[in-house]
Structure 1
Amino acid sequence: MEFFSKIFYGNTITDWCIALCILLGSFIITKLFYWLFANVIKKITSKTKTTLDDVLVDKLEKPIIYFILILGYWISIHWLNSSDWAENILPNLEKIASLALFINITSVISKVVDALFSEVVMPITEKTEGEFDDQLIPVIRKGIRAIIWILGIIVSLDNVGFDIAAMIAGLGIGGLALALAAQDSVKNIFAGIMIFLDKPFKMRDRIQISGFDGIVEEVGIRSTRIRTLEGRIVTIPNCTFTDNSVINVTSQPALKIKLNLGLTYDTDENQMQKALDIIGEIVSENSSIVEENYFAGFNQFGDFSLNILFIYYIKPDAHWLDSQTVISKEVLKRFNAENLEFAFPTQTIFKKEIK
């Protein structure tokens, strides 16, 4: 047909239609691959013993889809090969395709390395006795990913015609400004190195710092993440640990618990002794308490109660809150069974009649 033979921007309408069909075809193929991943490949990998293939499939699914789209884009622009097109527009489109391709390849390499760390390296380090490798591996993992992306971006820019040497030389001019802007980051990085060397805490330790109390979940090169007792994640710059005192709760040999029990003034001597005996029995029966270090005694005549001071220590391997709950419930249960009444604030008022 004469219409399809017409020239439009240096190419026939037929060539433009073919290029468009190639581009649309790449979209259709991506939909097909999405279906294959969801209904075939993932089902196959889910039946294998290892989880590495499952992780690789999840991480490589999108890069493969992007590669198909980039390939379709590349073929379609090369189908339009007239001289005017080639001289004016094609080089720029080729650079875009090349840049996208190299970034996609970089993403694939980064995701594969990340999967190897998460599914191969980290399970091995978790089986070791030391904690140092558990802290170091996440830092190495992030460092390698950063290096991969830096190299990938450099190669991508060099491939599309940027003068990398000139860009690196230009960094020297702005180096001072960059250094001033990155003072805090550099400070945090050095603080992170000091944390690794000094080891004031390790992964899964409970620490207290700057008003935060929680479990260490990740120690990074710039910051450390802890999960507070309320369940919130707090990211703390590493310089905070070098500038402030850190209390490592986990490192203490035992957790001291101080409990004040107030009985009513109706309590007699025998009942008071019974209360102390009950506390001793609870301590001897509870494996989470350091038995030889507990103290219990009638220590005070309060304003409205006869006070018993009960001090005990929870072993490091026992959960601090669960242990307190069990002991407090047992005290309540046994005191109630023996009719030992807990006191609450009361006042006795004497009225004197004046004649």
Structure 2
Amino acid sequence: MVMFAEVTEFLQGTYYGSTLRQWFIALGLIVVSVVLGRLLYWISGRWIKMLASRTSSRIDDILVDMLEEPLVGLFIVVGVRYSLSFLSLDSNLIEILDQATRFAITLLITWLLVRLYDAVHREYLVKLAEGTETDLDDQLLPVLRNGVRFLLFVLGGVVALNNAGFDVGAVLAGLGIGGLAFALAGQDTVANLFGGVTILVQRPFKLKDRIMVSGVEGYVDELGLRTTQLKSISGEKIQIPNKFFIASTIQNLDDCDYYFGLETFLLHRNTSGDQVDRLLSQLNELRDEHEDVMWCLGVLNGLNEFGMEVQLAYGVHRFQHSEKYFNHLEKKAVVKTFLNRRAYDLLKDNSIKMANPVYLGLRRKEDQ
């Protein structure tokens, strides 16, 4: 009986202003809100998306995909706030919870708007730009995307702070007092923005061009006002601050007519003049045997006591991203292998031997 009385007293006790029954109800509703939110997310991914995919329009698919996560978040936030209303809380604490709820809802709505814009940008604006002949819209689209996202986040943050009870005007005034410090700290940002504008105006390169700046080489993957993203040969993404494009030399490696290559063969000194003439003529004709070779030129580069040095100079058509090759290195390697293999065949057909390697050695006097 004593134990039963103690249990009853414990259950009827008040903890932080609320009874244990109120705490159980609030915690239970919070768990229910989270579970229902997860269930809503599962239903959206399993059934609503399936129904949307059966329509011919892409708009409903985009809306369902972009809305599901923010709406589930809103459902859980509202459910948690409703659950806490069962507690007997202090009026000041209730006001803080209401402000926090409004703050979270505003951020979730901002996230929803950003996701919707990203989907529209990706599904419509990018595809529209790909259908045009000019490259200017391809360069401006990443800038537009980053600018709109930044604007939405800033506006959402200001509205969220205002809904949370902060005096946004006072905050901005406080930032104005420290304007000099921010200006000094933002010198690099201003330089990067100026560099981004310079790139858009002068257009020293375009998307997918292979460039080298400040010793860094890569394909231009994305242009922005503050940074430019390069993708290396191995696929690594490199962020280059735009200020380097003003102060450094920019080498557009794909803005060329062809890639130059040179192969050297040292022929045996007993090779006749007729054999050399025939070989040079046949090397010149190799350009017609491979579609990626722009030109070939066989050159008798020099003579010495060891043999004759013949060189094969050639040009390879520059790499296009729509080709069968993965990158420019693969294209150059394929052409290089082909030309060396054909040169080997021509040397063999003309009965031309390569010069033997010469080894030089010194013998000590006592060994003689």
Q: What is the TM-score when the length of structure 2 is the normalising length? A: 0.84
Q: Structure 1 32/342 Cα, relative in aligned 2: closer, same or farther at 3 Å? A: farther
| Residues 15-66 of structure 1, C-alpha deviations (whole Å, 9 max, x = no match) | 3332222211101102212321342234444555566655554443332221
Letter in 2 for 1:16: W
Is structure 2 residue 12 aligned with structure 1 residue 23?
Answer: no
1:334/1:161 Cα in 2 relative to 1: closer, same or farther (>3 Å)?
closer
SS at match of 1:202: coil
In the alignment, the residues of structure 1 paired with residue 303 and residue 117 of structure 2 have an alpha-carbon distance, to the nearest angstrom, of 68
Measured in 1, the distance between the counterparts of 2:130 and 2:359 equals 60
State the match for 2:46 in structure 1. 39
CA distance in 1, matches of 2:330, 2:17: 78
Tell me the distance in 2 between the aligned counterparts of 1:298 and 1:23: 85
CA distance in 2, matches of 1:159, 1:127: 43
Contact 2:283 2:343 in 1 (8 A): no
Q: 1:27 to 1:283 in 2, by over 3 A?
A: same
**Alpha-carbon offset, residue 297 of structure 1:** 1.6
- Would you say 1:120 and 2:128 are equivalent positions? no
Letter in 2 for 1:189: L
Mark the runs of 5 or more structure 1 residues left unpaired by the alignment. Answer: none
Displacement after TM superposition at 1:185 (Å): 1.2
Closer/same/farther in 2, CA of residues 173 and 304 from structure 1, 3 Å limit: farther
Indicate yes or no: 2:309 matched with 1:307: yes
Q: Tell me the equivalent position of 1:276.
A: 280
Whole-Å separation in 2 of the counterparts to 1:55 and 1:313: 47
Report the equivalent of 1:62.
Answer: 69
Provide the aligned C-alpha RMSD in A: 2.8
Residues 181-231 of structure 1, C-alpha deviation per residue, up to 9 Å, x if partnerless?
Answer: 111111101110011011111111111222222211111111111122343
State the alpha-carbon separation in 1 of the partners of residues 303 and 36 from structure 2. Answer: 84
Contact 1:52 1:119 survives alignment (8 Å): no
Q: Which residue of structure 2 lines up, in the alignment, with residue 105 of structure 1? A: 109
Q: For residue 245 of structure 2, what is the aligned residue in structure 1?
A: 241
In 1, Cα distance between the equivalents of 2:13 and 2:234? 71
Paired residue for 2:357? 345
Q: Which amino acid aligns with 2:300?
A: F
Q: 1:79 aligns to what SS in structure 2?
A: coil
The answer to whether residue 151 in structure 2 is matched with residue 147 in structure 1 is: yes
> 194-203 or 37-46, which moves further after superposition?
37-46
CA contact (8 A) 1:335 1:341 kept: no
- Structure 2, unmatched stretches of 5+, are 1-7
* Residues 214-229 of structure 1 mapped to structure 2, 5 A cutoff: 214-229=218-233
AA of the residue aligned to 2:212? Q
Deviates more, 1:259-268 or 1:109-118: 259-268
Indicate yes or no: 2:83 matched with 1:76.
yes
Letter in 2 for 1:260: T
- The reply to whether residue 197 of structure 1 matches residue 215 of structure 2 is no
- Distance of 1:78 and 1:12 partners within structure 2: 13
CA shift, 1:2, in A, is 8.6
Partner amino acid for 2:301? Answer: N
Percent identical across equivalent pairs? Answer: 32
Displacement of 1:109 in angstroms is: 0.8
The 1:290–1:337 alpha-carbon spacing in structure 2 relative to 1, beyond 3 Å, is closer
d(CA) in 2 for partners of 1:344 and 1:223? 55
Output the CA distance in 2 between the equivalents of 1:148 and 1:342.
Answer: 70
The 1:160/1:328 distance shift into structure 2, 3 A limit, reads closer
Deviation at 1:315, TM superposition (A): 2.7
Which residue of 2 is the match for residue 324 of structure 1? Answer: 332
- 2:169 — aligned with what? 165
Between the aligned partners of 1:175 and 1:337, the Cα distance in structure 2 is 74
Report the 3-state secondary structure (helix = DSSP H, G, I; strand = E; otherwise coil) of the residue aligned with 2:85: helix
Give the structure 1 partner of residue 291 of structure 2. 287
